[in-house]
Amino acid sequence: MLGGDSMFHIALERDAAKKEVALVQQSLEQAKVNHAAYKEKFKLQAGLLTKLNEKEEEAARLTTETEKLEGQVKDLTTEKKTLEGKVKELESRPSPSTTAPDSEELVVDPNGEYKGFTRAALVSRIFELEAQQLDIAKSSFDNVVAQLLVLNPEVDLVTAGASELKEVQEGVIVSPSPEEEDYLVILSL
């Protein structure tokens, strides 16, 4: 059996070991807490690094886009200057509408109604006026025939063969030449 002194030493050693175990457990718990905090900080830091990488990529994309847009602005500014130069050049040229009409134009168009017309527009206007003249002639002819029928109800007037395109020559009704008739038919269309 062991003596009292040895038991005392064993009890002391046991108490010391229990204290040491408690300290080790406390250190272990502190290490676990520190490890959890470290893991949380690491996650946060990893997230921040990911966000930083994304922002750097976005910054690079925006820088490229900015450079591209600056190039477009430069091109558009150059084009604007070119167009402004062309406008100034065109404004300095005398235009047909600003030149004074000559004496022949004043006789034909004293009010300047056709001053800004192109050649094609003038030719078109001539055809339009000729067609209107033909319509007026036809309307006038039909009106005269109707008046004669009203004024002479007792006379059986023969109107068959009469036409606004025909004329009386030496007591005979004469049709226009085929060329004239074709021209007049085209105008009436």
**What's the pLDDT tens digit per position in 113-153?**
777 778 888 888 888 888 888 888 888 888 888 888 888 88
Alpha-carbon 104 to chain mean position: 45
pLDDT band of 18, cuts 50, 70, 90: very high
Distance separating alpha carbons of residues 129 and 127, to the nearest angstrom: 5
**Extents of the domains making up the chain:** 1-93, 118-154+161-188
CA nearest neighbour of 165 among 145, 181, 152, 150 = 181
Distance separating alpha carbons of residues 56 and 59, to the nearest angstrom: 5
Distance separating alpha carbons of residues 69 and 15, to the nearest angstrom: 79
> Would you state the pLDDT for residue 106?
77
Instruction: Report in angstroms the alpha-carbon separations of 34 from 19, 38, 47.
Output: 22, 6, 20
Query: Is residue 166 a contact partner of residue 173, using CB atoms and an 8 Å limit?
Result: yes
DSSP-derived 3-state class of residue 158: coil
Distance separating alpha carbons of residues 32 and 24, to the nearest angstrom: 12
> Would you state the pLDDT for residue 26?
94
> Would you state the pLDDT for residue 183?
54
Dihedral-angle region of residue 161 (phi above 0 means left; psi in -120 to 50 means alpha; beta otherwise): left
**pLDDT per position as a tens digit, 47-100:** 889 998 998 898 888 888 888 988 888 888 888 888 888 888 877 776 555 566
Distance separating alpha carbons of residues 130 and 25, to the nearest angstrom: 118
pLDDT surpassing 90 at residue 25: yes
Helix-then-strand count for the chain, H and E: 4, 2
Query: Is residue 135 a contact partner of residue 189, using CB atoms and an 8 Å limit?
Result: no
Give the tokens for residue 125.
């206007």
pTM of the complete model: 0.36
pLDDT surpassing 80 at residue 103: no
